[in-house]
Structure 1
Amino acid sequence: MVFILLWYISAACEYSVDFSECHEATIAALITPKDCNEKKPWVIQNLPCDHQCPAGEHLDINITTSTLTCKPCQENTYNIGGGITINSWNLHRHDFSSFCYVLEGKSWKRGANCTSWHASSDEILISGTTDINNWYATDLYLFPYLVKPGKLKLIYRREVSGLGDFFIYVDNFLQYIDMKNPSYDWFTVDIPLECGRHDIQISFINYVTEKISEIAIKEIQIRGTEYADYKCLPCGKGKSTKGADQCLHCEMGSYLDKNECKKCPYGTTSLPGSGNILDCYKLKNCTELDYHYYFSECKDEKKTKIYEWNYPLMCDNNGINLPDMHDIDCGGCPLGEFYNETHCEYCKTGSYIVDSNPGKECLECSAGKYSPKILAFNDWSEIPDQFRTWCMSAENTICSFGWESRGTFIVTSPLYEPGSSIYLETTVEFVEEGSYFSYTFSKSSEANFIVYADGQVKDSFQNEALGSSQHSLSPGNHTLKWLCKHSSILSEHCSLSGIFFHGTRHGGSAACVSCKDGLISKGNQQMCTPCPAGFTSNSNHTLCIPCPSGMFSKGSSKCSQCPPFTIPDKNSEFCTLPDLLTINNKTFQTQKLRGKIGNASDYCKEDRMLKYCYGTFFGPSLHKENLFYVSFANPSEIKMPNYAKVSNMNAYAFGIFPKSSLTLTEIEYLELEDICSEAHNKILVNLGSELSLVNTTNLGFVLEYSNGDHCDKYKKFTTRIEFLCDKYDKEGWPFFSHENGCEISFIWPTIHACKFCSDNDLVVHKGECKDGKREVHYYESENCVFANNTKFVKEIEKCEEKSVIRSWPFLVLAIVSVVLIILASVVLVWIFKIKRTIVLTQAKLSSRSSAGPEE
Structure 2
Amino acid sequence: MYTKCRRTKLEKGLNVLKWRVVGIGSDRSKKTVAPVLIRKIEVTGVGFTSVCAPCKSGTYSSEGSEICTPCKPNTFSKPGADMCKPCNPATEYSYEGAGVCTQRPPCTKDDYYQIQLPCVNGKTQKSFEWIQPQICRKDVPESIQLPGKTDAEDCPPCNPGMFLSKTAGCQYCPDDQMSDGKTPCQKCPASTSPDFNLEMNWFNTMPNNMSSECILFSDDTCKYNSSWVPMGDHLVTHFGRSEDAYLLLMQTVSGFRTAESKDHRQIVGTISFEFSTQCTGRCEFVFLVEYDGHSDVKKEWSGTKGKTHFSFDVSKSGPMTFSWAFQRSYIGHLTNGHVAENDLARMYSIKITNSLDGGAVGCKKCPKGVVDNRCVPCPAGHYIDVHSNSTTCQACPPNTIIRPTNAWGKDNCVECGQGLKASAAGDKCVTDCTFTDKEGKLYDFTKLNKITFVKGSNLFTGSGTKYYHGFNISLCGGDKMVTCTQNVSSPEKSTSESKFSESSVVKGVVCRSTIIPSTDASKSLSTQPTSLGDYIDKIVTNKSLVEMYKKEGYPTEGSEKDIHFYSKSEDSTDACPEGRNTIISLKCDQKMEDDGEIVFPPKCVYGTCDGCNFHLLWKTVYACPKCAKEDFVKIVAECVDGSQSIHYTKPDHCIGEPPAIETQKCAIKLPFIVKVVVPPVVALGLILLICVIYCWQRNKNLEYKYMKLTHQNEPNYDGELPGVDSCGLSDGEEDQFDSVQFKTSRGSKILNKIRGKRSDKDDENPFETGRSEKIPLT
| 1:294 counterpart = 2:132 | no
For the Cα contact (< 8 Å) 1:414–1:492, is it kept in 2? no
* Aligned partner (choices 618, 628, 632) of residue 746 of structure 1: 618
The equivalences for 1:582-731 within 5 A come to: 586-588=440-442, 590=444, 594=446, 601=447, 616-617=449-450, 619-624=452-457, 625=468, 635-638=478-481, 640=483, 651=509, 654-658=510-514, 678-683=525-530, 685-686=532-533, 688-693=535-540, 702-710=562-570, 712-724=576-588, 726=590
1:399 positional shift: 1.3
CA deviations on 1:160-217 (whole Å, 9 max, x unpaired) are xxxxxxxxxxxxxxxxxxxxxxxxxxxxxxxxxxxxxxxxxxxxxxxxxxxxxxxxxx
Residue type of the alignment partner of 1:767:
E
Residue type of the alignment partner of 1:464:
T
For residues 96 and 460 of structure 1, do their structure 2 counterparts lie closer, same or farther at Cα, with a shift above 3 Å needed? farther
SS in structure 2 at match of 1:758: helix
* Aligned partner (choices 460, 464, 480) of residue 323 of structure 2: 480
| 1:233 counterpart = 2:55 | yes
| 1:795 counterpart = 2:664 | yes
* Bigger RCO (CA 8 Å, 6+ sep): 2
For the Cα contact (< 8 Å) 1:618–1:629, is it kept in 2? yes
| 1:733 counterpart = 2:587 | no
Q: 1:279 — aligned with what? A: 103
Residue type of the alignment partner of 2:220:
N
Q: 1:373 — aligned with what? A: 197
For the Cα contact (< 8 Å) 1:645–1:684, is it kept in 2? no
1:708 positional shift: 3.4
| 1:308 counterpart = 2:140 | no
For residues 404 and 621 of structure 1, do their structure 2 counterparts lie closer, same or farther at Cα, with a shift above 3 Å needed? closer
The separation in 1 between residues aligned to 2:647 and 2:401, in whole angstroms, is: 42
For residues 405 and 478 of structure 1, do their structure 2 counterparts lie closer, same or farther at Cα, with a shift above 3 Å needed? closer
* Aligned partner (choices 357, 361, 370) of residue 522 of structure 1: 370
CA deviations on 1:95-134 (whole Å, 9 max, x unpaired) are 899xxxxxxxxxxxxxxxxxxxxx9999xxxxxxxxxxxx
Bigger radius of gyration among the two:
2
SS in structure 1 at match of 2:11: helix
For the Cα contact (< 8 Å) 2:329–2:340, is it kept in 1? no
Q: 2:359 — aligned with what? A: 508
Q: 1:161 — aligned with what? A: none
SS in structure 1 at match of 2:271: strand
The separation in 2 between residues aligned to 1:383 and 1:256, in whole angstroms, is: 43
The equivalences for 1:328-407 within 5 A come to: 328-342=153-167, 343-349=169-175, 351-354=177-180, 356-357=181-182, 359-362=183-186, 364=188, 371-374=195-198, 376=200, 378-379=202-203, 386-390=210-214, 392=216, 394-396=218-220, 398-403=222-227, 405=229, 407=231
Residue type of the alignment partner of 1:346:
Y
For the Cα contact (< 8 Å) 1:567–1:578, is it kept in 2? no
Residue type of the alignment partner of 1:232:
P
For residues 685 and 306 of structure 1, do their structure 2 counterparts lie closer, same or farther at Cα, with a shift above 3 Å needed? closer
For the Cα contact (< 8 Å) 2:226–2:240, is it kept in 1? no
1:752 positional shift: 5.2
For residues 524 and 717 of structure 1, do their structure 2 counterparts lie closer, same or farther at Cα, with a shift above 3 Å needed? same
The separation in 2 between residues aligned to 1:452 and 1:688, in whole angstroms, is: 26
For residues 294 and 264 of structure 1, do their structure 2 counterparts lie closer, same or farther at Cα, with a shift above 3 Å needed? same
The equivalences for 1:185-584 within 5 A come to: 230-235=52-57, 248=71, 259-262=84-87, 265=90, 279-280=103-104, 283=106, 292=114, 294-299=116-121, 301=122, 303-311=123-131, 314=136, 316=138, 322=147, 325-342=150-167, 343-349=169-175, 351-354=177-180, 356-357=181-182, 359-362=183-186, 364=188, 371-374=195-198, 376=200, 378-379=202-203, 386-390=210-214, 392=216, 394-396=218-220, 398-403=222-227, 405=229, 407-408=231-232, 409-416=235-242, 420-421=244-245, 423-424=247-248, 426=250, 428-429=252-253, 431-432=255-256, 433-436=268-271, 438=273, 440=275, 442-443=277-278, 445=280, 448-451=283-286, 453=288, 454=290, 455-457=295-297, 463-464=303-304, 468=308, 470=310, 472=312, 474-475=316-317, 476-478=319-321, 480=323, 482-484=325-327, 489=338, 492-498=341-347, 500=350, 502-503=352-353, 504-512=355-363, 522=370, 525=373, 535-537=381-383, 539=385, 574-576=429-431
SS in structure 1 at match of 2:125: strand
Identity of aligned residues (%): 9
TM-score normalised by L of structure 2: 0.52
The separation in 2 between residues aligned to 1:737 and 1:582, in whole angstroms, is: 26
For residues 328 and 619 of structure 1, do their structure 2 counterparts lie closer, same or farther at Cα, with a shift above 3 Å needed? closer
Give the superposed CA RMSD: 6.0
For the Cα contact (< 8 Å) 1:449–1:461, is it kept in 2? yes
SS in structure 2 at match of 1:231: coil
1:428 positional shift: 0.8
For the Cα contact (< 8 Å) 1:733–1:749, is it kept in 2? yes
The separation in 2 between residues aligned to 1:796 and 1:256, in whole angstroms, is: 112
Q: Extract unaligned runs of 5+ from structure 2.
A: 23-46, 257-267, 331-336, 458-467, 487-502, 517-521, 545-557, 602-606, 678-778
For residues 571 and 450 of structure 1, do their structure 2 counterparts lie closer, same or farther at Cα, with a shift above 3 Å needed? closer
The separation in 2 between residues aligned to 1:510 and 1:458, in whole angstroms, is: 27
CA deviations on 1:359-412 (whole Å, 9 max, x unpaired) are 444553875765233153753657977425346483435514332747545543
SS in structure 2 at match of 1:332: coil
Q: How many residues align?
A: 537
For the Cα contact (< 8 Å) 2:328–2:340, is it kept in 1? no
For residues 731 and 325 of structure 1, do their structure 2 counterparts lie closer, same or farther at Cα, with a shift above 3 Å needed? closer
Q: 2:638 — aligned with what? A: 767
The equivalences for 1:13-52 within 5 A come to: none
Higher strand share: 1
For residues 569 and 511 of structure 1, do their structure 2 counterparts lie closer, same or farther at Cα, with a shift above 3 Å needed? closer
Residue type of the alignment partner of 2:151:
H
1:756 positional shift: 1.6
Q: Extract unaligned runs of 5+ from structure 1.
A: 1-86, 98-118, 123-224, 595-600, 602-612, 661-674, 809-855
